[in-house]
Chains A and B, each alone.
Chain A
């Protein structure tokens, strides 16, 4: 696997506050990464450091094989930080031309990328006349201009309406499908769950987890059950070592698995013990539940 970004023991202090503490992780080519963490957990600061706008206090990071300077590496990176920043008095095309000049990209890319984000008809309107959703899409077009090896998105759907969020998400999925590496920082967990294969979880500047999304918590999922004779069911489950915690909430019984079990086997087992279910769902914890467990535990 080809590394794109390697971060080792990165630390950033703002006065007394340590925003990022001894952070290490690696971004490999072709995966979609999410950086998760509550507000103020150091996501944006970390991205700011690797993007050359925030100075690190200690530690190190290297782009690609480590032989390119950050300044040159950034020409192969596309990034959007928080809000779309452009010159309000320039049109979309003029703004993108400026980015082309900085990155050393041919102007012919401009229309191509505006097409992807659906702004081609409005390319000669001034940036100041754009809605927030359009601004954010222009920012994505700008980040894509150089056909980047990695696309970094920091809270790309922040402040957008549902349509805007949906549009941005569709665009991200399209880009990911083409094999571009993506690093997505967000506190919206369903967003990360929908597009990311790997995840880094931060809290107060420290790494809690990094790895595949589905391996984040070693759990075998749980069953959600309903039946007419609840007490018998609960008793039966409690006496079985396959199940750990049993949760009862009104008529809904939630049984957590200690080891893998298929739903058809489980159904058969209950039927043989004289229990007929009216409701059976097998689920794994959502990323949100996993995330909350992970951040609460420590």
Chain B
């Protein structure tokens, strides 16, 4: 397993473009979160301190940071599709197989890399959230701090799922740019199907069905936190209440998609003549 991971890391880290993109996708969100947690003096008129709004309180901070950090996943998605696209365009995939890598090992090495980077990202985000939280949060009891850490699990699963989807698209179309286009098409397609169901039945049923779609199910893992922040500000407005928690069935759906995408990538490669 470490051999395969090692193999893929060498391919990625010696490539300047992917190194920059990896840096952006993993380091940038932390800077953004870190900066936002600082006291910013806007030209001496007033000081902007988001921490005062209570958004860095435990446990809501887990929700907020994972939601924002996951928006940066697109940069690493480019790395994932290009690591497949490059193998095809350089014909190194063929050479790797001739050199004695099996097709299964090839897919696994890509998958381990995805898991590895998702894991690193999760660890980083948990450390930074913990630090900021400990600094700003009004509640510091251990039980409250760790109460919603399942957002971290959701974050990890979300990243692995999304990158597996990118991996599959990369294998399917062999070219990075087209794979990204496919991602966009899938996004539109999911909404079109949603629209069709909403028109035939009603929007509640349609949304329930849509929650099973790949992109939507990944998005659903971590719901947007704005409404929740508003909820904490105006606790008496009951129409703001929504279900923001991470559910185990949501994780199960995404894990099922992940397994399917990895399996399909393998099938695709196995059937293909290079």
Contacts and interface: CB of A to CB of B under 8 A. Distances in A.
Given A71-B102, A103-B100, A90 B14 contact: yes
Interface string A44-69: 00001001111100000000000000
Interface in B64-83: none
Contact of B100 (A71, A83, A86): A71
Interface string B72-116: 000000000000001000111011111111110100000000000
Interface stretch (B4-12, B159-167, B200-208, B251-259): B4-12
A101 B91 contact: no
B96 to A, nearest CB: 6
B3 to A, nearest CB: 6
Given A52-B97, A53-B94, A71-B100, A101 B10 contact: yes
A79 interface: yes
A280 interface: no
Contacts of B243: none
A217 interface: no
Nearest to A14: B273
Nearest to A88: B90
B17 to A, nearest CB: 9
Given A81-B94, A85-B90, A87-B90, A101 B7 contact: yes
Tell me the dominant secondary structure on chain B's binding face: helix
B271 interface: yes
Contacts of A104: 3
Contacts of A55: 270-273
A102 B273 contact: no
B95 A74 contact: no
Interface string A86-104: 1111100010011101111
A125 to B, nearest CB: 14
Contact of A83 (B16, B91, B271): B91
Nearest to A145: B99
B248 interface: no
Interface string A101-115: 111100000000000
Given A74-B100, A75-B100, A101 B6 contact: yes
A101 B16 contact: no
Contacts of B94: 53, 81, 85
Contact of A53 (B15, B97, B271): B97
Given A48-B273, A74-B100, A101-B3, A94 B92 contact: no
Interface in B1-51: 3, 6-7, 10-11, 14-16
Contacts of A87: 11, 14-15, 86, 90, 92
